[in-house]
Amino acid sequence: MSRSIAYTSSPLLASRTPVWRSKFVVAAIALGFLGLAARAVYIQVVANDFYQKQGQVRFARTLELPANRGRILDRNGLILASSVPAPSIWAIPEDVERDPPRLQQLARLLEMTQAELEKRLQDEDKTFVWLKRQVDESVAQQITALGLKGIYQRKEYKRQYPEGEAAAHVVGFTNVEDRGQEGIELAFNQNLAGRNGSRRVIKDRLGRVVEDVGEQIAPVDGRDLQLSIDSKVQFFAYQQLRDAVLLNKAKAGSVVVLDVRSGEVLALANYPSYAPATRQNLSGGQLRNRALTDTFEPGSTVKPFVIALALEQGIVTPNTPIQTAPGRLTIGSATIRDTHPRGVLTVSEVIQKSSNVGTVKLAMQMQPREMWGLYSQLGFGQKPQLPFPGAVSGRLRAYKTWRPIEQATMSYGYGLSTSLFQLAQAYSVFAHDGELVPMTLLKSSERAFGARVLTAYNASAVRSMLHLATGVGGTAPKAQTMGYSVGGKTGTARKQEGKGYADKKYRGFFVGIAPIDQPRIVVAVMIDEPSNGKYFGGDVAAPVFSATVQQTLRMLGIAPDMSVKPQIVAQAEEESF
């Protein structure tokens, strides 16, 4: 074989290589290997935090073990809120198998378009993205059956509310993270939520758990909560309220039912309401628990308190005559009027006929401090001692600022504000022999004892007057209840608008007690802005009271105290404001 180059004739090849050059090349290679070895030691031993973290991100995960949220029960053990399994679907975008037919099926099961699904899978975080939270079990099973790589499920719970709209404002709801947002769900969130557990695992590249790392922390389930609410009373009261609001073409309404023997809240309903499980396109008006969060001037419903104070001070007796003619009374530059001018009325008839003039004449014989003191004892101007979010205090100005005309108007419900719940609780003074009963939303089996406000004798005397108001010649015969004796007071108040009062916007109220001789419940009803021709409390609110009382007392097992026969309801006299 011939060579193209003669090595012997090439000066370069023929020259002798210096020994130092060979040693230099060998040393350089050795140093290179030493550098690589040092770098490897540095990365794998000395400064391996970054790479270990990256490895953990890809393969080591902490799985949250969700706690089951406690149930909310009514007083009879019926479920108002409970949690059911609802898996959430998530993905590792970089691992998702791009199989168009199966991805199209996945998008359909997740109720989104394929374009929306692709957009989520293009998320910058390639290691985790939510596809949909809390799907039905059947949907989760269909997604599992697709067998798509990179698509995973996480065990979660979703709240269910069997009573729906009827109990929504009491129970409230949770968000997608199962944290309380409204109502009892928010007020008692810490008790209901429990504590989530955790599990540290290693997963392979396909997302399968291959090893547990560290100690597993078991979840602690939330505690059940039993309310004082009776779901049947709540549902019936809500139905009656809803029908009244729709019949009278009103803006809204509320009803409160209290057990004055135990201090338990049996019902707290509002309309309009909402379905707590599906809350799309809701307004603040639907979410608001108006019975606790809205305040208003209570109108004539406060007259019995003024009369009670006059009895307490010995100014009058139930039969003391009061001249109300000619049906008007001037104080300063203002004139107070009765709807129907009358002559001499007894103190009992002042309540029966709802006379502004008669009430004001009694109020002006008292000191402002004395009226303010009674209103304060009743809880006006103070936040209710009820653990419920959004409960308001109302407004009661300091008595030192009252002018004579303001003292007069406050005696028939203008110049102060209160919530419907506060008004209902205040009437427990008459129902519980002069004691203001503390109220609770939790079930209680003990008899309630409250703060003494009136003597039992005078509380009973006012009850008799309230009974007259629901009879013939009173302002609320429509409050009469078949089989049960009742008593109560109507109220009709113009709504404030700007710096004055609207001409044709009213709130109609009725607050009452039943049975009248041995009271068990107080029921308060408010109808906001009725616009179908009737607006007096005796017309729009009293019928709701009547139906609610009858149903509630029957459910409580209270025997009728009157002959059970149809009662002829006389025409109500139009009340004074």
Q: How many CB atoms lie within 10 A of CB 288?
A: 18
CA-CA distance, 386 to 383, in Å (whole number)? 8
Cβ atoms of 418 and 380 within 8 Å: the answer is yes
Residue 556 φ then ψ, to 5°? -85, -5
CA-CA distance, 80 to 227, in Å (whole number)? 9
Residue 333 CB burial class (10 angstroms; 0-12, 13-18, ≥19) = exposed
Q: Identify any residues that bridge with 296 across adjacent strands, giving them in sequence order.
A: 418
| Gyration radius of the chain over CA positions | 37
Residue 450: half-sphere exposure toward Cβ, Cα within 13 Å: 30
Choosing from 83, 300, 355, 485, which is the catalytic residue?
300
Residue of 48, 50, 88, 40 lying closest to 66 (CA atoms): 88
DSSP state of 275: -
Non-local CB neighbours of 174 within 8 Å, separated by 6+ positions: 69, 159, 180, 181, 185
| Distance, C-alpha 360 to centroid of its chain | 38
Residue 89 φ then ψ, to 5°? -100, 130
**Which helix (H) or strand (E) element contains residue 226?**
strand 225-226
Q: How many CB atoms lie within 10 A of CB 558?
A: 17
Alpha-carbon distance values, 313 to 316, 362, 371, 506 (Å)? 8, 11, 11, 34
Mark whether 348 is an active-site residue. Answer: no
* Interstrand relation of 72-73 and 225-226 (parallel, antiparallel or unpaired): parallel
Cβ atoms of 309 and 461 within 8 Å: the answer is no
Both structure tokens of 246? 């729709």
Q: How many CB atoms lie within 10 A of CB 206?
A: 10
Alpha-carbon distance values, 496 to 231, 253, 502, 504, 541 (Å)? 35, 17, 6, 11, 20
Known catalytic residues are: 300
